[in-house]
Amino acid sequence: MSGSRPRAENREENGEEGREEDYERAGLGGRLTPGASPALLLVDPARAYVDPDSPLYAGGEPAVEAMKALLAGARRAGIPVVVTRVRFRPDGRDGGVFFRKVPTLKVFAEGSPYGDFIDGLAPAADELTVTKQYPSAFFGTSLAAYLTAHRIDTLLIGGLSTSGCVRATALDAMQHGFVPVVVQEAVGDRDPDVHAANLFDIRHKIGEVWPMARAEEYLGVVRGAERP
């Protein structure tokens, strides 16, 4: 029996190139153009992900260094900076089903040091801290209203972890009308394959995924431009 081979078989043989071709044929992977009025959003740069004694330790140290560089670049460019944190009541009831599904979220209960910001990534006094109980930085918070009030059109996103709160936040950013740009080196996950798969999916279905060098170049352009 003749005919073309199944796409899944072609993808398996051709690896990343085959997946790219398949997604392009399916019309997945259009490009979004960032605007002239960006903000930086750092998602949950918490000690829980980088302290080896934490149950949620994810080996995110390389992403932390990139986040620090990204934060410094955003401050030089004079754009708004937003940093999120997770906080739960001691009993976790404000975390609902999410807290029940992931019991180790107890590391973010009030009073736990693991919920503190990683050194060098705490927001300044004039920068916005968003406290959340769920993966997306938009869910149940005033973030969308804040960005709209500041006429933001683009979000540069770094944080932890790629497959969880970063992805959920990028998706909601797109759904609220902001162009999400995830900075590749400034996000991380406990599993490199999961990390790569989520970046692939974000790039094809949700927003843009940029290397740090491109994000820094963009911030340089923004710094020298008159913003709305």
Give the domain CATH number at 83: 3.40.50.850
Instruction: Specify the number of domains making up the chain.
Output: 1
Segment 110-167, tens digit of pLDDT: 999 999 999 999 999 999 999 999 999 999 999 999 999 999 999 999 999 999 999 9
Catalytic residues: 165
Segment 13-42, tens digit of pLDDT: 556 677 777 777 776 778 899 999 999 999
Owning domain of residue 205: 35-88+114-223
173 lies in some domain: yes
22 lies in some domain: no
Segment 43-94, tens digit of pLDDT: 999 999 999 999 999 988 999 999 999 999 999 999 999 999 999 999 999 9
Mean pLDDT of the chain: 91
pTM above 0.85, yes or no: yes
28 lies in some domain: no
Rounded-to-integer distance, Cα 102 and Cα 112, Å: 16
Residue among 147, 170, 164 nearest 108 (CA): 164
20 lies in some domain: no
List of residues 6+ apart from 3 with CB closer than 8 A? none
